[in-house]
Amino acid sequence: MTITADQVKQLREMTGAGMMECKRALAETGGDLDKAVDSLRKSGAAKAEKRAGRTAQEGRVDSYIHPGNRVGVLVEINCETDFVARTDEFGDLVRNIAMQVAAAGAEYVRREEVPAERVSRERDILAGSTELQGKPAAILDKIISGKLDKFFAEVCLLEQPYIRDDKRKVSDLVQEAAAKTGENIVVRRFSRFRLGQE
């Protein structure tokens, strides 16, 4: 019984376990992938969040080009299975998010992606604004953090109000689609070109 490199690779992708552990598990189970997964799970080597099909590696790449061809957007949105990726539900979500980026021009997907220097520059500008001079320190922090939230809601796609219904945030759209499809959905990245602009 020989264990092929492909089997090991597949098992690693299914479990996130190390190569030697996967080899051992396959040897023990005579090359049976399902049994090997169970064996790794028992030994604790399989990472729960790396279970087959639970990571958002499928999905769609799609674009929206605004009429006139002066603004265009490319997006990648991930879900867990090709089956969900092909549904109209998921396709609509991807299209709506591409239109959102074209219309509202986010710079980042999420708050964590905004560079720390930019956040601290923003904070400095706010702290130095004449409007805030002379306020007691206790409420100053609250005001600044509220204004920073507004800044994030402008530059981060997921925090923006949805262009077609400003009662909801873009992250709400994503959550709703995740609930309907029963899969984890992740906005992975986008690119936005505006003619002649950086």
Q: Give the residue with the Cβ less far from a second copy, 76 or 176.
A: 76
Pairing outcome for strands 161-162 and 165-169:
antiparallel
Supply the minimum distance, in Å, between the C-beta of residue 11 and a second copy: 19
Phi and psi (nearest 5°) for 3?
-95, 125
At its nearest, how many Å lie between a second copy and the CB of residue 84?
A: 13
Residue whose CB is less far from a second copy, 73 or 156: 73
Q: Which residues bind a second copy (CB under 8 A)?
A: 57-63, 65, 69-76, 78, 85, 94, 189, 191, 193-196
The pairs formed by 105-109 with CB atoms below 8 angstroms and a separation of 24 or more are: 105/192, 105/194, 106/155, 106/156, 106/157, 106/160, 106/190, 106/192, 107/155, 107/156, 108/155, 108/156, 108/157, 109/156, 109/157, 109/158, 109/187, 109/188, 109/189, 109/190
Residue type, 88: D
Cβ 102 to a second copy, closest distance in Å?
10
Residue placing its CB nearer to a second copy in the complex, 20 or 61: 61
Provide, rounded to whole angstroms, the least separation between the CB of residue 151 and a second copy: 25
- Nearer to a second copy (CB atom), residue 23 or residue 51: 51
Q: Position of tokens 């204004």?
A: 147
For a second copy, which is the closer residue by CB, 150 or 194? Answer: 194
CB of 76 to a second copy, least distance (A): 5
Q: How far is the CB of 106 from a second copy (least distance, A)?
A: 15
CA distances from 26 to 16, 38, 49, 108 (A): 14, 11, 21, 42
Two tokens at 29? 């189970």
Nearer to a second copy, 136 or 196 (CB): 196
Would you give the end-to-end CA distance of the chain in angstroms? 58
